[in-house]
A and B are shown apart, each in its own frame.
Chain A
Amino acid sequence: MDTINSLFLFSGFLIALSIVASRVSSRIGVPLLVLFLGLGMMAGEEGVLGIEFDDYSLAYLIGHLALAMILLDGGLRTRLKTFRVGLKPALCLATLGVFVTSGLVGLMATWIFDLSWVEGLLVGAIVGSTDAAAVFSMLSGQGVTLNERVGATLEIESGTNDPMAIFLTITLAEVLVSGASGVGHTLMTFVSQFGLGLLVGVGGGWLAAKLLRWLDLASGLYSLLALASGFFIFGLTSAAGGSGFLAIYLAGLMIGNQPGRHLTHILPVHDGLAWLSQIGLFLVLGLLVTPSEMIDYAIPGAVLALGLIFVARPLAVLVSLKPFFNFRWRELGFISWVGLRGAVPIVLAIFPVIAGVENATLYFNVAFFVVLMSLLMQGASLARVARWMRVEVPAGTTPNRRGALGVLPENDYEMFVYKVENEALEDVPIRLLRFPSGALISGLFRKHTMLHAKGSTRLKLGDVICVIGRSEDLPALNRLFNGDATLKRERAFFGTFTLDGEAVMSDVADAYGLTLSAGEQNMTLGEFVSLRVGGHPVVGDDVDWHGFHWVVNAVEGNRVTRVGLRLYH
C-alpha cells in the first residue's frame, strides 16, 4: 500500500510543481525542459527528496509512451500545406542530416573518450536527432514567428528524424552485443523500418481520420479514440518491423489534416497529453540520472556538445540542404542553431543499458550532458538568434480565441473573439465597419457586461467582440482589428508600398525606370520574384534589385500574390 501511496504523492507533487514552475521559466529565461530535468534531479537520489529510481526498463517504457504521444501531437498540428516548402528539405535533414551528424559526432566521441569505432558511432547515433517539440513551444512562448520555409523544415524534420537515429542506435548496439551482421540484413532493416512506418502510418492514419469523422461520439471520446488508434498503429508497425515513431507521427498528420468538428475536441486534449508527456518524461530522466556520476563526464561531454553544436550540426545542415535547395545563408545558420536535442537522445541512451552493452553508463551520462548543454545554449537563445538571423516574419493580429461552433459537421462556422485595440475603430458605429459579408457580430462586451450590439452601437477601445464566421473571413477580420502598431511593424518589414503579384514586369519597370532583360518583359511580378528567390517562395522572402527591397507579402500555393516594395534610406 505504501508504494502506491508514495507513487501518487510524489508523481502528483512533482507534476504539479513542474506546471507551476513553468510559469516562472519564461521570466528567468531557463528553458522549460531544463527546468523539468532539474526538478527531477532535485527529487532524485542525490537531491532534496532522495527518491531512489534506477529502473531503466520502466524509464524506457515511459520514454516510448511519452515520445509516441509527443509525436502524435506534433503530427496533429503539422499542416499538410507546409509540405509545399518543408517536406523535401526536412526529409533530407531527417535521413542524410542525421547520418552526417551521427557520423561526425561519432568520430569526435571515438577520439574524446578513446572508444572503439563502433562505440563512438553509437554515441553519435544516440544524439543524432533533434527535438523540435521543444523548439516550437519555446519559439511561440517568446513570440517569434518564423518564415514558412524555415518553420516548416524544422517542424517536419523533428517529426521525421527520430526513426533514423533509432535505426542507427539499434543497429550499432546489436553489432556491439552480438557482433557484426551482414550489410544485406542491415539494409533490409532500414527498408522495413521506413517502408512499413510510412505505409502503416499513412494508411492507418487515413482510416482513423475517416472513422473519427464518421462516428458520432460523446465529445470526450474523440481524443481518446485518436490516441488509441495512434497507439495501435505504433504497435502494429513496430510488431511488423517498421518504425512506430514514424508511423504515429504520420497517423497524427493524417488525422490532423482531415477537417471536421472532431478536431476541436481532439487538439486541446492532445495538447495537454503532449505537455504531460514532456513533463513526465523529463522528470523521470532527471530522476534516473545520478548527478555525481555525470560530473565525471562533464568536461569531455561539454567538448562533445560544443562539437555537435558548432561543427557537426552546421556541416550536416550544409551537406543536406545547400546543394539541393534554395536556402539563404542566414536560414541555414538558423536551422543549424535549432539542432536542439531533447528527450530522444536520453531515451535512446537507455537502450544500450537494457541491451547489456559494455560501458552503458557512459552513453547515458554523455547523452544526458549533451542534451543539457544543447537545451541551455541553443534553447535559451532561440528568439534572439531568430531575430539576429532575420528569419522572422511579422505576426499579424489573430483572434484572441477561436473555436468551432459544432453545428455543421463539415466546414463549420467558428467563433472568433477579438479585443478592440485599433485606435482607428474608436467611436466607429458597427454598421460602418468593413465587415466580411458572411460574418456576424454576435456579442459585444464592455466592462464585463454584454451589450446588445446594433448597427448604431459605437465601439470603444478595450471592447471584446465575438464574431461568428468562417475561416475564409479571417484575413479580412484580422485586417479590421489590426492595431496601428501591427500595421507599422508590417510596413517596416514588407515596405510601404504593395504591388500586385499579377502586375506585368514591363509596367513595373516603366513606373520605376528599371531595366529588364528580354525574357523578363512579359513575366508577372510574382513570377519574376519567385524566379529570383529560386522557386517555392514563402512570405518574407526578399530580393535586392534596382535599389529596392522586393519582399514577398502574400502567397497562394507557389504563386506570389502580393509583393512589398521596401525603400532603403
Chain B
Amino acid sequence: MILESILPPERTLFGVAGGSKKRVLEFFSTFIAQNTPSLDSQEVFGRLIGRERLGSTGIGNGVAIPHARNPHCKEPIAGFLRLQEPIDFDATDGDPVDLIFVLLVPEEADDAHLSLLAQVAAIMNDSAIRTKLRQAQTQRQLYDTLIEAIRQHDNSAN
C-alpha cells in the first residue's frame, strides 16, 4: 500500500485551531466525514478516542499518530494536521503536540495496514522532517514537504 496515494492534498490541513486533544479529534472526525461521505463523524470520533483510552498515540517530539479501524472505510485513509498552537496530548515524553498524522483503516486489518502505520511512525521519527514540517509557511508547502518525506522514506526502505 502506498502511503502517498491515500493522502491527497485536501486532507493535509494547515494551521488547525488546537484547544484540546478531544477538540482536535472532533474537528478531524467532522472534516473527514464531510470529505468521505461513507464515514460517520460520530463513529470515527468514537473509535479514535477509544484507541486513545488504551494509551496516548502521542509518540513524543510533539507528534501524535491517532489511528483506528473503521467498518465504513473501504480503503485506508490518511490525514495530516498541523496545529496553530501545540496541545496537551498525554504524549509519552509529556511534550505538547502540534503535528498529527491520522490513519483510518478498514475493519479487516491486515499486515498491509500495520505496515502503513510503521511507515508513518518511521517518517515522523525523523527530526529533520519534523523541523521542515514545522517550518512550512503554507498549506501547499506543508503537503509538498510531507509527500517528499514519504517518497524519500519509500526510496530508502526499498
Q: Given the complex, which residues of A lie within 8 Å of B50, measured CB to CB? A: 507, 510-511
Q: Given the complex, which residues of A lie within 8 Å of B47, measured CB to CB? A: 511
Given A496-B65, A498-B56, A500-B55: A547 and B111 interface contact (C-beta under 8 Å): yes
B32-55 to A contact mask, C-beta < 8 Å, 1/0? 000000000000000100110111
Given A479-B94, A496-B125: A569 and B54 interface contact (C-beta under 8 Å): no
A511 near B107: Cβ-Cβ < 8 Å: no
- Number of CB contacts from chain A to chain B under 8 A: 73
B107 near A513: Cβ-Cβ < 8 Å: yes
A568 within 8 Å of B (CB atoms)? yes
Q: Given the complex, which residues of B lie within 8 Å of A567, measured CB to CB? A: 114-115, 117-118, 121
A459 to chain B: closest CB distance in Å?
A: 14
B114 near A568: Cβ-Cβ < 8 Å: yes
Q: Given the complex, which residues of B lie within 8 Å of A563, measured CB to CB? A: 55
B55 near A499: Cβ-Cβ < 8 Å: yes
A507 near B53: Cβ-Cβ < 8 Å: yes
A426 to chain B: closest CB distance in Å?
A: 13
* Residues 115-158 (chain B) with a chain A CB within 8 angstroms: 115, 117-119, 121, 125, 127
* Residues 14-46 (chain B) with a chain A CB within 8 angstroms: none
A497 near B57: Cβ-Cβ < 8 Å: yes
B54 near A487: Cβ-Cβ < 8 Å: no
Q: Given the complex, which residues of B lie within 8 Å of A510, measured CB to CB? A: 50, 69
B95 within 8 Å of A (CB atoms)? yes
A13 within 8 Å of B (CB atoms)? no
B9 within 8 Å of A (CB atoms)? no
Interface residue from A476, A499, A547 paired with B54 (Cβ < 8 Å): A499
* Residues 41-82 (chain B) with a chain A CB within 8 angstroms: 47, 50-51, 53-57, 59-61, 65, 68-69
A424 within 8 Å of B (CB atoms)? yes
Q: In the complex the two chains form, what is the Cα distance from A292 to B1 in whole Å?
A: 70
Given A499-B55, A567-B117, A569-B114, 19 additional A-B pairs, CB 8 A: A434-B94, A479-B94, A482-B93, A487-B60, A491-B59, A491-B125, A498-B56, A498-B92, A508-B54, A510-B50, A510-B69, A511-B51, A511-B69, A513-B109, A567-B121, A568-B114, A569-B115, A569-B118, A569-B119
Please list 14 pairs of residues, one from A and one from B, whose beta carbons are closer than 8 Å in the complex, sorted by A's number: A487-B61, A488-B125, A491-B59, A497-B59, A497-B65, A498-B56, A499-B55, A503-B55, A512-B109, A513-B108, A525-B54, A562-B55, A567-B117, A568-B118
The 8 closest A-B pairs by CB, nearest first: A513-B109, A499-B55, A567-B118, A496-B121, A503-B54, A569-B118, A500-B55, A569-B115
